[in-house]
Amino acid sequence: MTYRIVIGVSAAKALRAISDRRVRNKLAAAIDKLRIDPNQQGNALRGELAGYRSLRAVGQRYRIVYRVKESEVIVAVLTVGIRKEGDKRDVYRSAEKLARESPPTERE
């Protein structure tokens, strides 16, 4: 089964903000690979981000935070960024904020 990829506004903005074209292309390729078996890729997240998954990309430095919607056959990408534990720009902190601000159906 092939899933349709839906990139959220925040994820698109984060991708555009990456100045290195090679990194952007690698992230785009990793996102595209989520079309096939997205539940077998990445790790399930817990806590506030329960229901989302995180995929490491570009030499394990970047994370792609996404949700799989089986009923709609969609992979919804919430955000993309670098893991910076303790930093306010940490991808997981951004993802938690986005998840609190609006339900996934409004965001995608």
pLDDT band, very low/low/confident/very high, at 63 (cuts 50, 70, 90): very high
In sequence order, what are the residues at sequence separation of 6 or more whose Cβ sits closer than 8 angstroms to the Cβ of residue 64? Answer: 11, 27, 30, 31, 34, 42, 54, 55, 57, 77, 80
Q: Under CATH, what is the fold of the domain 4-107?
A: YaeB-like fold (3.30.2310)
Above pLDDT 70, what percent of the chain? Answer: 93
Q: Can you point out the beta strands (E) in the chain? A: 4-7, 43-44, 53-57, 62-69, 74-82
Q: How far apart are alpha carbons 71 and 86 in whole angstroms?
A: 35
| Lowest pLDDT segment from 12-16, 29-33, 57-61 | 57-61
Residue in the block written with tokens 């998840």: 99
Per-residue pLDDT at 61 = 87
pLDDT at residue 103, as a whole number? 55
Confirm whether pTM is higher than 0.85.
yes
Whole-number mean pLDDT of the chain?
88
